[in-house]
Structure 1
């Protein structure tokens, strides 16, 4: 079992996370965290899209807001 877990460690440390070693040694904080900024932008765009879709369904009156819409209410 020890070799199995060492194999998983080798996979992640030496192969999958290797591109992050490039960002670790940068002098500029903003470029070193470029992956975080890209992730933040993607999540922010998805959140805005989600909120606009919810507003569209709310404006169209398609959502059932009656008390009996869910059995547990």
Structure 2
């Protein structure tokens, strides 16, 4: 049974995380953090898109803003 868990450990540490270990050992800060910058850009684009969608629905008055619209009010 322990061989199964050692196999999972080997898979993650030696195979799946190998690109991240290579990024960690780089001398240049900018290239080492490229993956982080990509994720930050994706998050910023998603945030701008989501805010645009909320503005579109708000401008169309599609939300029920009546005082009894939500049960928690």
TM normalised by structure 1 equals: 0.88
- Indicate the residue corresponding to 1:4 in structure 2: 4
Give CA-to-partner distance per residue, 1:19-65, whole Å, 9 cap, x none.
Answer: 11221221111110111000000001000100111011111111111
RMSD: 1.2
Runs of 4+ in 1 over 4 A off after TM superposition: none
- Indicate the residue corresponding to 2:56 in structure 1: 56
Instruction: Point out the structure with the larger helix share.
Output: 1
- Indicate the residue corresponding to 1:70 in structure 2: 70
SS of 1:66's partner is coil
Q: How far does residue 9 in structure 1 lie from its aligned partner after superposition?
A: 1.1
Mind listing any 5+ residue stretches in structure 1 that lack a counterpart?
none
Count of matched residue pairs: 73
